[in-house]
Structure formats: C-alpha cells, structure tokens
Structure 1
Amino acid sequence: MLFIAMCTVLSCTDKNPDHLDLSNATLWISPSLESSFKETAKTVLVQEVQKRTGLGLEQGDTWKADPVIALALVGDDKLYGETVPTRTQDHPEYSKEGYRLVHGSKGGKDILWVLGSDARSILYGVGKLLRMSDMEQHKFSIPKHVDFSESPQFAIRGHQFGYRNTANSWDAWTVAQFDQHFREQVLFGANSFENIPFQDPASSVHFKVDPQIMEVEMSKICDKYQADYWVWTPAPDDLTEGDSYEEGLAQQEDFYARCPRLDGVFVPGGDPGDNHPSVLIPYLKDLSKLLKKYHPKAGIWVSLQGFNREQVDYFFKYLEDNDPDWLTGLVYGPSSPPLKWEREKLPKKYRHRFYPDITHTVRCQYPVENWDQAFALTLGREPCNPQPHYYAKIFREDVQYTDGFITYSDGSHDDVNKVLWSQLGWNPDKDVREIVVEYGRFFFGPKVAEASADGILDLEKNWAGPLLENKTVPKTLALWQRLEAENPQLADNWRWQQLIMRAYYDAYTQNRLAYETGLETEAYKILAKAKEIGADVAMARALDTVQKADTQKVSQDLREEVFKYADKLYHSIGAQTSVPKYNARSAERGAILDFIDYPLNNRWWLEDEFKKVGNLKTEAEKLERIDFIRTYDSPGEGSFYDNISSADALHVTSKTDDAIDYLWENDGLSRKRLSTQLFQFTPTLAYEGLDPNADYLIRVSGYGEALLRANGERLKPTKYEKGYEEFKEFPLPKELIKDGKLKITFDKPDEENLNWRKQSRVTDVWILKQ
C-alpha cells in the first residue's frame, strides 16, 4: 500500500520558502549500517552535492556539529547522542523501502534526518533530498520544517540496460558511466536493473569493455547500491536440437558463478525462441537448481510471449497440476496473453512482472498515437522520446495488474520516461509535471527546472496530431533556443543535448513538410494541364517542381544544429545517430540523421510512376494514368479518401492497437507512395452525409486480405488484388446507407501462422460516388 505524508508546514514549491542552509552541514551516518554501504551513502550525497555546488560536505560524529544531515535507520535509538525521530509503525518509513525526510531542531541546532526502513531506503531519502534542494555554486539549502515520507506502491521498479550492440548508446559506455547512471536511477526510486549477457565481444565496434566483464561489473554496481540485478537470458532457439539444452545450462551456470549478485533470471518464452512449454519448463526447472546453487534468494521468471492458445493452456495446466516452487513469477511482455487475464489466471503464489516498452515509437508495444507520418519516416523508431503524459496513462492503465515493472529500453533516448516510471512506481497518482520539474531540478539545476519541464512537456505536444497544423513546434524551439543561450554551463550535459536536438529536428521537419507538400500541390496543378501541354511535358515540369525539395532546400540552419548536437551526443555518451557516420547497428536503431532528409512528398513515387507512364504506347493511355496519379487522394465531389493511420485522416476512428503503424523496407528508404507506408491491420472508419440514392464503390489498398464489412454486412468484391498499391473494390448496396451513414470494419483473417510483417493490412480507403 502507498503511504505519503507531504511537507507539513511549507510546500517545497513555494516561491519564497524559509530555507535551511546546509552549505556547511556535517554528515552523521548510522553505525548500524554495513560499513561498505555507509561509504556508498556518504559518497553519493557528497559527490552529488559537490557537482552542483562545489561544496565538500564532511562526515563527523560529534553532537556539536550544526547543521547536521543525519542518515539513519528507523530502528536506531540514538545517533551521536541525539534521539532519532520515531512515529507509530503505520507510517511510511516503517514499510519496506520506505523513508522519511524530516527537519528537527533542538537547542538551536538544526538536524535534517534522512530515515530509512533499510539501507536501500536511505538512498531513496537521499534522492528526495537532492531532488527538492536548491543547489547552486556554494549554495545548498532545503525548505525548513520539511516532513516528507513515502513508501513505494510497487515492489519491482526497474529498467533494462542491455550492454549489447542493439542499444544505440550503451555499448559505448564505460563501467564508470553505468555506475553513475544506475546511481541516478536509484535516486529517482528504481530498485532493479536488467542486463542482457552472453554478447559477442566482436558484435560492436563501440565496446570499451568486454561484455563478459561488463556483465559482472553491472552486478557489482547493483550490489553497491543495494539494487536488484536481473538478466534477460533467452533459452536456445530449439532446445531439442543437438546439445543445445546442455550447452544452454552450462553457459548459464558459468555466468551465475561469476556474478557477485543476482536476483532475477528472466527467460522469455518467445521473442526470441520457439520452444514448446513441454520442453521449456524442464529447462527452467534445471536452471533454477543451478541458480539456487550460487544465489539462493534469486528467482526464475518466464514470459508467455509468442505462445499460441494450446501452449498457454499447457503452461497454466502445468502450474495447476504441479504447483512448482522453483518458479518465482511470470513476466508480461509484447505478444503475451492479455495482461489482466494473465494475472487472473496466474496462481497467487507467483509474482507478476510487467515488461513495458517505453523506448520505441513505432513497430512496438505502445506506438505513438496519431503520430504524423513525417515524424514516423524521419525520427523513426528510437528518437529522443519524452512522453510523460502518454506513458503515465499507460502506467495507470496496466501496471495495476502486476507487482511492478522492469521496462524495456534500448538506449538513453528514453531517459525522461524511465524517471517517470520509477516515480510512478512509488506513487501512481503523482503529478506528471511535478516529476518532470524534479527531473529538471536534479539534472539541470533549480533555476532551469520549471522552464525545462515546460520544454520537455512541449516536446510531447510537438507529436500531437497533424504536424502542419501544430502551432506548438515553433514555440517549443523558441523556448529551447532561449534556454540554450542562457545556460552555456549545460552545453556538455547529454540530457540537455538530446532534448535541444529534438526541438531543432521537429522544427526542421515541420518546415520541410510544409515546403515539400506545397511543391507536390503545385506539381498536381501542372499535371491537370497535361491535355493542353502534353503528357511528357507535364510530367517533366511536375517532376522539376517536386524535386526542388532536393535542389532548393529549406531551413538548413536548423538542420545544421541537429547535426551539431548529434556529434556532441556521440562524444558525450556514444549516441549512434547514423549508420555511416557513427556506426549505429542498423537504420532502425536511432539513426535519425540518416532520415532527416527523407522525402516528405511523393517525389520518389512520382519518379517511378512517370517512368511507367512514359512506357505507355499512346497519349490517351498516358493522360488517363496521369489523371489517376493526380487525383489519387482527391477523388472529387461526393467521394471520400483516407490515408489509414495518417494523423489527419478524417474518417478513421481506430488507432494503432498493435506493433505496427508504418511499413519498413529497404532499410527505411522505401520508394512507395507515402500513404502505402502507413497502415492498420483492421481499421474502422465512419462516414455521414452519403447520398442514399447514389451508387458507391468502396476501394481498398493495402496488402493481403481485406475482409470488409459495411454497416456490419460482409461485402463481396468485384476486384481483389492483394499486392501493394493494388486494389480491391466492393460495390456498396444502397439499402445499407438509407440514413446516409456508413461504418466500415475489417474482419481479421486467420494468419496466426504468419510473421506480423507478412500479415494483411490496409493502407488506403476510398468511398467513390459513381
């Protein structure tokens, strides 16, 4: 249960609080803490204060010190002669991981107590102290009379940090960088970190440390901060093949023996892997024996990702019949059975962990809702993606069914999202803006906290709805440009760098979209005159017009800033924003520079189409095809067209409800029409104002099947092509639209045996008045 006691006298956000000056404070640290952890707690507080103020806090053990910052356990009686504040056991600081931050005064001496239920809790109290303090050069203070306490609602609060080449920055990190980063995550409330071991040392050119060494160093770092160390370790793809079963066990045992600390081993059922539970379960049971040999308190966890119905039923029947003690819990990840159902089906003795994707924007568990295609095609799957309100909504909807979470992450670009989830793990009702302000206060300083929070929240607004209509984008850039100019001391701060880069990137993309869309509109006006000037002349002039996007470029000053910050990020944290320039693993892995100039009009498609038209034999055939190209998305009076999943689609009522919302081919450099690259599997559309006396034809483009229903009635096609940029056509019976209203739905075909990349999808829908 969550307990929170807020500041009792003065709010930490009052404009003119009466502050307690801690600039000359002496540290008291409870002797009852383990010696190594006493050193950790002292080092964290002293170093983090010194970085921000230049002050060097000293540790003491005399009652004469004033003021004092006292780090103690709630079970302590006295500390250097002073009575440790106590309350009844129902207060938060007595719960697991709970802490209390309270200012006491006695005999004119000020003591700021940081009280924890255990060693780990002390660091959470220190984190809150640092997040609410005012720290500037030679200044360190906190509101007087503060009395704040809390304990977390969720027991598992962590993030995945896979030291592997797919991560778009971490494979370039040192042990010291991971140590600092894990420390910062703990100070915001995280208690778990999950690595992905068994990486090939030759798999990344960025590795500064052998992965087999780093996977042990991460274990040591977690132990240092009293955080849980987890690992994500898939079973061999086919446990029945050769010696893979025994080899898998041997590899795991070697790892267990090398780790000084290990708390959880998560084996995904699928993604990757394709083992039936009848084979996977014995393997997990054997793993548990090896794990207990080296780490008696550690647990085995498994997910049902990719399991079909029979496999899911088999797994739960096994639990029902065998009630195994070797299994600790179940992990819910992408392609698992429904979350709420899974928790209800799982016996209460087992724990349930969430594995949410907070790092990706498309082709993922939680794609950005109503994301403009211009961003999807340029920023791609792993840009800097602070979305505090969106992920808070997801958290509040889904985490309630679990014992907590370790998020899926593949880089530093989702840093704001990590902090948000860690904090919501303590208090799901905490104000989103308050969390973001604390983020800014801790990483950027008190003078910038409010403004940087505005900037972060505005970056999220940049992604809301059609980009051409978004008036927030230029305001966001102006805010970050002002902060950039006013705070040169933050120029080397990687969090600062990636946020400012996003502001420039968004503005450049918006300007380019407006320009290139205008060029395409002009090109279609030229094509409308094809009968007068001839098909070949019209195509040549139209092509010259749209290609001005390449020959007469706009907003190059904004583009240069993006590249400048990308280079800063590469040198500060190894962020790989380009495949050729910074050796990103692949185009999908954060390579935003490689797509910054991807066409935002259909000039590539037009180039290819005009070549086809040029090969037609007669002028009449050419003119007919040109007219189709020109009116592709504007079918005329009384007709309707929708680019499925486009942010400005007028009649689409569904949102992307799965891992896909645009086509990925040719490493992201598809030459298909832009509308072809946006799709849904089973969209819904709604129309009003149809003429009940008119004949209509429903045309659908996409890939594979399209099992279309109109107002619930399954329609029969008169044309049924299944390839990209081919068409299916369905005559619409008049009796179905007597009231002028139409709802289109699509039944999902039975394609469970197909990889999602080959499953049917819909890209464009027309209602054509005949």
Structure 2
Amino acid sequence: MHARTRFVPQLKYAFCFIFLLIAISSAQSIAQHIDLKTASWIISPNVPSPMKETAPAVLTEEIAKRTGIRIKNGNSWPKGNVPVIAIALASDKTLFNRNIPAVNSSGPETKPEGFRIVTEVNNGAKTIWIIGADARGILFGTGYLLRQLKMSQAFMGKPLLELAGPLNVASSPAYAIRGHQLGYRSTANTYDAWSVAQFDQYIRELAIFGSNAVEGIPFHEDDKPSPHFKIPAREMRIRMSEICRKYDMDYWVWTPATFELKDPAKRQAELDLHEQFYKECPRLNHIFFPGGDPGDNHPSEVLPFLRELQAKLVKYHPKAKMWISLQGFDTEQIDYFYKYLETEKPTWLQGVVSGPGSPPMAETRYRLPKQYQHRQYPDITHQVRCEFPVEKFDQAYALTLGRESVNPRPYAFAKIHAKYAPFTDGFVSYSDGSHDDVNKVLWSMRGWDPQMDVHRIMEEYANFFFSASLGAPSIAASAIEGLEQNWKGPLAENGAVEMTYLHWRVLRRVEEGLENNWRWQMLVFRAYYDQYTRLRLIYEQDLEKQANVVLDAANRGNIIQVMDTALAIVNKANNHVVDRDLYKEIVDLSDALYKSIGLQTSTQKHTPRNPERGVVMDFINYPLNNRWWLADEFEKIKKMTSPDEQLARLKTIASWENPGPGSYYDDVSSVAKGPRVKTVSDDATDVAWWDNGMSRKRLSTQLFQREPALDYDNLDPRARYTIRVAGEGDALLRVDGYRLSPVIYSKEPETFKEWIVPLSLTQDGKISVTFDGPEESQLNWRKQSKISDIWLLKQP
C-alpha cells in the first residue's frame, strides 16, 4: 500500500469523475463481446520454426500473466462451441481441413510482415483468425490481437478475457525498419541491470507493438563493466542475438572505431574482434558504423575498413548488411563519401544512417543513390542537450529532471516522425534506458502506420500494460499525455501539473494492483516529481522576492545585517520541505524502480555511471532560487572596502529582475522570464549542466543565446533609454538595424555591457533589438560568446 493519500477537495472530485468514467466504460464493454475464457488455440504446421513455437507462447503467456487463464493447445478443431484462436499463413488454404477465410491477393495480409485478424462464427462456434503473410506477420498479428483484448485477473471479482466485438482488420507496415537500441553498457541508466529474462520480455513487448529490430552495442563495455551487470557483456550480446532469432527480429550492432585506423596493429585487432563476434552470433543482420560519433577517422580510411568487415561478416551471415553514418564528418569528408559511391558503386554497402550530427535527412536522401537505403537514428531518450530538445522547457525541469528522465512525449515525437520519416526506410532509435518506453511504442506504432491516432496508441499502451481493470484505457492514456503537457511553458503558471498529479493519484487508489508494474511506477514517479518541483519553484521564487525587498532597503549602516537577513530568507528552502508526504512517496518510488527495473536515480543508493544519466534524485532539491549565488556574492561584497561600492552591488542584485517602472528585464532563454524575446535557442538549457549539475552560478547565467532578438513597445517617446546586457564575450548590438557603440563593455561572466539608445529611435514608442554573431568558429562552443540577460532601462 502506498503512502497515505490526503483527500483534498480537488482529489475527491477527480476520484468521483474518474470512477464514473470507469463505470460507464465497463458497462459498455459488457454490451458486446467475445468471451475467450474457455478458448483454445491451433496453429498451421506450415508456420516455420521458431515462430511456430514463439507466437503461441507469446499469446498464451501474456494472457496468463494478466488473467490467470492459460488457453490450451487444441491440436485440432475442438467440438462444441469452444472459441478458437486459429493461426495460419496467408498461403494456407485450409487449417486442419477447415477453409481459412479468403484473403485479398493484393491486401496487406500478403505483404511482408502483414496480417489479417478476422472473427468468424460457424454453427455458434467463434473463431478469431490470425492470418500472417509470413512468420513476422504471424507475430505482429498476435501482438495486434493482444493489444485489443480486455484482460484482468479480477474484474468485478472474476477473471476477464474478452474481445470487445467482431474484427476484420488487415495491416502491413509502412516502413521496413522499426527498431530500438538496447545497449547493455555502463552508460545506460537501466539496461545494464537487466537479466537475460528481462531483455527477452522487453524485446517481446517491443514486437507486440510492431518493432522488428534491436540494436546492441558489442565491444565497448568489455573493459569497463557496470557493477550492475548480471552476466558479462560478451555473453549478453550473444544472448540478445538468440532472443532476436526467437522473435524473428533483426539484430543490429553499433560498432564505432575509436582508434586511429591507420594503426595497422589496432586495425587488425579490431577486425579479429569483429570476426570472432560474427562467428559466435546465431543471428546478425546489420552492422552500423557511426562515421565520426565517436571516432575521428577520414572516410578514406573508414570505407576500406568497412569493406573488409563486410567480407568477414558474410562468411558467417551471408545476408547481413553493412551501414555507415556521416555523423561528425565535415563538408570535405561528406563530399568524399558521395564521390566514392559514384565512382566505386560499392555493393557491400547497404545504406546510410542519419543521427545527431549528421547532414540534413532530406539532403542525405537526395544525394544518396537510389540503390542505397536510408535509416534514421533518432534520439528519443533525452530532452535537453540532444537532437530533439523539449521546446520551451522550463529551467526548473532542466536543472532537476535534467537530460534523461522519464520522458513520454507522444505528440512531439509523432510530429518529429512525420517530418523526417518520408526521407527514410525506417528507424532504429537511440535509447539509454527504460525511461523512454512510451516513446519507443509511439515510434514503433507510427513506423507501422504513420496515420495512427496518437491517443489511440496511448490507449493500446494502457490497455496492454495496465489491464482492463482500469475500465477505460482512455483515462490512463490521458494521464500519460498529461505528463507531456506538464513540460509546456512556464512551470509556475502551468496549473495542469497539479491536475495531472491528481489524475495519477486517483488512478493509484483505483488500481493498487499495479504498484509493482515498473511502467506504472515510472509514470506515477514523473507526475509526483513534477508536482513537487512546481511547489518548490513557487515557494523558492517567492522567498527570493522577499529577500530582494530586504536588499532594496539597504543603507550604509546596515549592509551586513541586510545580507544576513536576505540570506536567511532564501535559505529557508534548505530546511523546508514543501510537501513532506509527497517527497517521501517520490523517494519510495525511486527505490521501487531500482528494484523492479534497475532504474538508477540516486548516486548514493544505485551506483549509476554518472549523475547526468537520469539520476534525478540527486537534483530533486537543487535550488530553484539564487540562494547559492547570493551566498557567494555576499562573500565578495563583504571583502569590498568601499561601503558605496557594497551598497551599489546590493542595489543591482535587488533590482536584477525588477528594474523599476518603465524599465524591462528579460532572461533571454527562460520560458518564464523572457516575454519580449522572439528567438528560441535550439537547446537553451545546454549549459544547465555545469559542475556535474551542481553549478552555483546565477540561474539566468546558466541559460543563454548567441544572437537573441527582442521587440519593445509602449515606450515613452520623451524618455532616454539604456540597454544593458549580461553574458560573456562579445555582444554586437543593433537597435532598429543600427549598430550602436557601447559606453560600458566588459566581457567577463556576469558583468555588464551598456549602450545609450538614441532618442530618434524611440520616438515611435517601440524598438527592435538584435545582435550580430561574432566570428568565433575557431573557438569551442563552450568558449563562444553568450548573452543571458537583457535590460531596457528608462533613465530618470
């Protein structure tokens, strides 16, 4: 039983509303259904092994887990009205002397991996046919049926196993490649803790939702094993190959060269290592070599190396394919690659993979000759410092949930898939743990059917993983979608966070039997974490406002006292827990997730690779006001010898975000504090990871843009204005297109630059502010100029 729930009025209303929806849905499901509690199954002898054994095992075992009912193998058509699940190939004409339903010779059930599910009534006996185009079609048809079944061990006191009504559905995938990377390595936040049985179950579940590929990471963990490894990495990669063979899924491996390929000894050692792996693998379909991420070899070295690898590969796996990505290649290297394709026309190369750091996907498909395939390598596992950062991500989330938290983003990724998929033959995603599970299902399903409704996908996810005892899968689907909405816009202003929290809290009370379900635990954990973070943000930001009032009242005689008082106010957050019961539940869920799925959210308890890898419990109480920065600033002020200098600095701090009537302040990359900023950084929170996530810098300094643009209106045409900028390096300012010369120009962090705005530019009551980008291509991005804060100050 989870911690005590306090029934505030909102929770009572939410509970009543959800319970009513469940009751209505339950009544509707009873109205028309096919009861399968006494069903048996039969399968065509023409289905090849191992699918002849795998598909029935998937069907019976997944039903048994959810209902306690184990449907039996009939071996032949049963007598009487016993319902039957009959599994056959589209090429079969009969099954144990009974005609199978007619298939459309050009229908989806005859295309690779396609299937048809059709219900049939014969003299009162009900049959559910799973008709597959091939072995994979059998598996995907079985998965489709499982996703539609209503299953529960105790629904209204009885086991439940039913199909809501007659079916006649035919489907085949839109994209041939639909897979996910499952890297058994120390950098993963979950996979390194899995057993062979957990990988088997997870790969099965991916197949149930339409995935047909798994990508492993073979050689790079042998010398740096995780403390969580159940078996050595070398053994696990072979076991994953066996699992893929069992489910007839393609087995890919990601294999960079992180050494200099011109070194003959290292080159030969790598070739030998590959050959040994190829020889040991019972199934191996594709080798993916990332060109320059990691690695630093020119394609003139990479391509001959891959040709040698492919020659060794086909000795053991004659149909296996070789792939390359252009990640990290510069323009000359990319041109070299395409020139090589044009002149050499290599038949040993299957295609190109596009991932983070690759050329644009449309360009790649355009330049790539038609005989080569194109695969996407989308990063679905991160939300900041990544390929697809969350748009307008509140800094409070970036500092606490960080880069790799539980991150369901079904609607965002549906749009991203729709944007890029048409240039590809499919995808194998980049994933570093179970936290992106919802995203994997979304990509798998949209890879199968790009038009499938996102809410429907979430309903099938909830129905299969959380059971029909929830009554209406739509309720849980909406709760999952609520987590995505939590991340939109300023957190303090997002009241939906509390409603999503209440939604999940009620669902926990309705369905306590899911407390050990790791997917359920993850989603509840995120809902509770978001609510706790929002409560903290509101509380801690209010403390800082109170402290600024105190600082604003400073005078020459009370400087030390004012600083001590202000610091005591903001430091109340150190010892005050905004909701102690909620915090305890989050801690308990964190520990439960480590026990159930190996999710490593705490450095102290779970020994993760590093804090950036989803270790959100390390940051759950990271300051959401500037108390660390203030403490450091006050120490600097105490060392100043001039009271006037001390007082001026205190006044600057007090008015930092509130410069006074007629003046304006913008934190340029803060979704909450930059209302006049028109530009959006691709990943403004990229710098919210300094000092292993424990930076003491001012919060606004941890966000920046290089060339922000802002619009101001309702200015006083009679007033003089000054523009002030904080940041680092250069800031080449223009107002209404005119370059201005600064009167103050300090390049050091958290110091100021200032410009006087000519009166002629403010006569119409508005201005536009832009910045030219300085030429800094020779500098590492961390050393390039940054603009973090901008003021338009009305002079007295």
TM range, normalised to the smaller chain?
Answer: over 0.9
| 1:231-246 → structure 2 map (5 Å cutoff) | 231-241=253-263, 243-246=265-268
Q: Is the 8 A contact 2:41 2:84 kept in 1?
A: yes
Going from structure 1 to structure 2, the CA distance change for 1:55 and 1:395 (only over 3 Å counts) comes to same
Match of 2:469, SS state, is coil
Distance 1:303 1:659 in 2: 27
Q: Could you say which residue in structure 2 is the equivalent of 1:79?
A: 95
CA distance in 2, matches of 1:117, 1:716: 72
**Cα displacement string for residues 123-145 of structure 1 (whole angstroms, at most 9, x for unaligned residues):** 11111111111112232111332
Aligned position for 1:42: 56
3-state SS, counterpart of residue 464 of structure 2: helix
Which runs of 5 or more structure 2 residues have no equivalent in the other structure? 1-24, 154-158
Who is 1:621 aligned against?
Answer: 645
* Correspondence 1:206-217 to 2 at 5 A: 206-217=228-239
Give the C-alpha shift of residue 20 in structure 1: 1.1
Matches within 5 A, 1:343-492: 343-448=365-470, 449-492=473-516
Sort the Cα spacing of 1:620 and 1:749 in 2 relative to 1 into closer, same or farther, 3 A: closer
- 1:137-159 CA-to-partner distances (Å, cap 9, x unmatched) read 23211133211111111111111
Task: Single out whichever of 91-100 and 722-731 deviates more from structure 2.
Answer: 722-731
Match of 2:120 in 1: 104
1:470-497 per-position Cα deviation (integer Å, ceiling 9, x unaligned): 1111111111111112212111100111
Show the counterpart of 2:12: none
8 Å contact kept, 1:78–1:84? yes
Change (3 A) 1:495 1:320: same
Residue 176 of structure 1: CA displacement? 0.3
Distance 2:322 2:706 in 1: 35
Pick one of 159, 164, 167 that aligns with 1:146: 167
How do 1:130-141 residues align onto structure 2 when only pairs under 5 Å count?
A: 130-137=146-153, 138-141=159-162
Q: Does 1:165 align with 2:186?
A: yes
CA distance in structure 1 between the aligned counterparts of 2:294 and 2:349, rounded to whole angstroms? 20
Partner of residue 225 from structure 1, selected from 247, 257, 260:
247
Secondary structure of 1:766's partner? strand
Equivalences for residues 698-709 of structure 1 within 5 A = 698-709=723-734
1:288-334, CA deviations, whole angstroms, 9 ceiling, x for partnerless residues? 21112221211111111111111112211221222211111111111
Q: Which amino acid letter does the alignment assign opposite residue 210 of structure 2?
A: G
1:532 positional shift: 7.3
Q: Which residue of 2 aligns with 1:677?
A: 702
**1:267-278 paired onto structure 2 within 5 Å:** 267-278=289-300
1:428/1:759 CA distance change after superposition, 3 Å = farther
Say if 2:195 is the partner of 1:174. Answer: yes
Match of 2:312 among 284, 287, 290: 290
Whether the 8 Å contact between 2:684 and 2:704 is mirrored in structure 1 is: no
Aligned to 1:592: 616
Matched letter for residue 78 of structure 2: K
SS of 2:384's equivalent in the other structure is coil
1:644 paired with 2:672, answer no
Answer whether contact 1:365 1:659 (CA < 8 A) is retained.
no
SS in 2 for 1:616: coil
Question: CA shift at 1:12, angstroms?
Answer: 13
Which aligned pairs between 1:8-87 and structure 2 lie closer than 5 A?
Answer: 15=29, 17-65=31-79, 66-87=82-103
Which residue of 517, 521, 525 corresponds with 2:549? 525
- Contact 1:201–1:207 under 8 Å retained in 2: no
**Conserved in 1, the CA contact under 8 Å of 2:667 and 2:700?**
yes
1:630-669 matched pairs, under 5 angstroms: 630-648=654-672, 649-658=674-683, 661-669=686-694
Match of 1:763 in 2: 788
Instruction: Specify the code of the residue in structure 2 equivalent to 1:455.
Output: A
- 1:200 maps to 222
Cα distance in 1 between the residues matched to 2:732 and 2:328: 25
Whole-angstrom CA distance in 1 between matches of 2:268 and 2:776? 34
- The Cα of 1:737 is off from its aligned counterpart by 5.0
* TM superposition shift of 1:178: 0.1
Go from structure 1 to structure 2 and tell me whether the alpha carbon gap of 1:617 and 1:159 turns closer, same or farther (over 3 Å shift).
same
Give a deviation string over 1:488-534, Cα, whole Å, max 9, x none. Answer: 21111001111111111111111111111111111011111112761
Distance 1:91 1:705, change over 3 A: farther
For 2:601, the equivalent position in structure 1 comes to 577
Task: Provide Cα deviations, 1:634-653, integer angstroms capped at 9, x if missing partner.
Answer: 22222221112212120122
Distance apart, 1:713 and its partner CA: 4.1
- Amino acid of the residue matched to residue 696 of structure 2? R
In 2: Cα distance, 1:179 partner to 1:605 partner = 49
Hey, what's the Cα distance between the residues in 2 that align with 1:35 and 1:629? 72
Change in 2 beyond 3 A, CA 1:504/1:217 = same
Structure 1 256/707 Cα, relative in aligned 2: closer, same or farther at 3 Å? Answer: farther
* Residue aligning to 2:16: none
Does the CA contact (< 8 Å) of 2:189 and 2:613 recur in 1? yes
**SS at structure 1 position matched to 2:352:** strand
Once residues 752 and 306 of structure 1 are traced to their aligned partners in structure 2, the CA distance between those partners, rounded to angstroms, is 16
Q: Deviations over 1:183-227 (max 9, x none)?
A: 000000001111111112643110111000001111110110000
CA spacing shift, 1:133–1:631, aligned 2, 3 Å: same
Question: Cα distance, 1:106 vs. partner?
Answer: 2.0
Partner of 1:504: 528
Q: Larger deviation: 457-466 or 200-209?
A: 200-209
Contact 2:384–2:683 (CA under 8 A) maintained in structure 1 = no
Q: Secondary structure at the match of 2:665?
A: strand
1:319 aligns with 2:341: yes
Taking the aligned partners of 1:662 and 1:105, their CA distance within structure 2 comes to: 63
Whole-angstrom CA distance in 2 between matches of 1:259 and 1:731:
70
CA contact (8 A) 2:103 2:109 kept: no
1:177 partner SS: helix
In 1, Cα distance between the equivalents of 2:327 and 2:717? 47
Mapped partners of 2:31, 2:780: distance in 1: 59
**Alignment match of 2:141 (pick from 121, 125, 137):** 125
Aligned-residue offset at 1:688: 2.3
Q: 1:708: how far off?
A: 3.7
1:614-654 per-residue CA deviation (whole Å, 9 max, x = no partner) reads 11112211111100111112222222211122121201222
SS in 2 for 1:203: coil
Shift of residue 711, structure 1, vs aligned partner:
3.5
Residue 540 of structure 1 and its aligned partner are, at CA, apart by: 0.8
- Whichever residue aligns with residue 637 of structure 1, its letter is P
Q: Name the SS for the 1:243 alignment partner.
A: helix
Using structure 1 for the length normalisation, give the TM-score. Answer: 0.95
Identity, in percent, stands at 50
- Structure 2 Cα separation of the partners of residues 720 and 309 of structure 1: 36
| In 1, Cα distance between equivalents of 2:778 and 2:301 | 20
Of the structure 1 ranges 458-467 and 709-718, higher mean CA displacement relative to structure 2 is found in 709-718
Partner of 2:19: none
8 A contact 1:640–1:767 mirrored in 2: yes
Q: Once the 2 structures are TM-superposed, how far is the Cα of residue 88 of structure 1 from its aligned partner?
A: 2.5
Q: Which amino acid aligns with 1:744?
A: V
Alignment of 1:242-253 (within 5 A): 243-253=265-275
Letter in 2 for 1:114: I
Q: Hey, what's the Cα distance between the residues in 1 that align with 2:776 and 2:424? A: 30
- Higher mean C-alpha deviation, range 363-372 or range 234-243: 234-243
- Cα distance in 1 between the residues matched to 2:344 and 2:201: 44
1:708-729 CA-partner distances (Å, limit 9, x unpaired): 4434444444444333212333
Alpha-carbon deviation of 1:595?
0.4
- Residue 13 of structure 1 deviates from its aligned partner by 12
Q: CA deviation at 1:389?
A: 1.1
State the match for 2:626 in structure 1: 602
> Which residue matches 1:6?
none
